Amino acid sequence: MANRHLSRSIILQTLFEWDQNNIAKEDLVEILKRNVDEFARNKSDLPFMERVLDGVLQKQKELDLVIEKAAPEWPLDRISPIDRNILRLGLYELLFSDRKEVPAKVAINEAIELAKQFGGENSGRFVNGVLGAVYKEIGEPGKDEITKKKKDLPFDQMPVIRLAGAVAYTVHEGEMYLALVHDIFGHWTLSKSRVAETETPEEGATRALREEIGLDIKIEKELGSNEYVANKPDIGKHRKQVIYFLAEAPYVDLSMEKKGGLDDAKWFKVAEILDLNFYEDILPIVTKAITILVSKK
Q: What is the pLDDT of residue 297?
A: 59
- Please classify residue 197 by burial: count the beta carbons closer than 10 Å to its beta carbon, then call 0-12 exposed, 13-18 middle and 19+ buried: exposed
CATH node for 155-296:
3.90.79.10
Q: How far is CA 18 from CA 13, 26, 191, in A?
A: 9, 10, 27
Q: Does domain 4-137 have CATH number 1.10.3720.10?
A: no
Q: H-helix or E-strand containing 128? A: helix 123-137
Run of H or E including 129: helix 123-137
- 236-248 and 160-172: which strand pairing? parallel
Query: Model-level pTM greater than 0.75?
Result: no
Checking if the pLDDT of 96 tops 50, the result is yes
Q: Is residue 25 very low, low, confident or very high in pLDDT (cuts 50, 70, 90)? A: confident
Answer for the pair 156, 237: CB distance below 8 angstroms, yes or no: no
SS3 of residue 223 by DSSP:
strand
Q: Mean pLDDT of all residues in the chain?
A: 86
Q: Which residues in 209-219 are b (16+ Cβ under 10 Å) and which e?
A: beebbebebeb
Lowest mean pLDDT among 8-12, 16-20, 146-150, 280-284: 146-150
Check residue 64 and give left, alpha or beta (phi > 0: left; psi -120 to 50: alpha).
alpha
Mean pLDDT of 5-14: 91
CB atoms within 10 A of CB 136: 10
The residues near 260 (Cβ < 8 Å, ≥ 6 apart) are 39
pLDDT at 271 over 60: yes
Band (pLDDT 50/70/90 cuts) for residue 1 is very low
Tell me the β-bridge partners of 10: none
Helix then strand count (H, E) for the chain reads 10, 7
Handedness of CA 25, 88, 78, 5 (dihedral sign): negative
Same fold yes or no, 4-137 and 155-296: no
d(CA 115, CA 190): 19
- Which has more pLDDT, 53 or 295? 53
All structural domains of the chain with their residue ranges: 4-137, 155-296
Q: With H, G, I as helix, E, B as strand and everything else as coil, classify residue 263.
A: strand
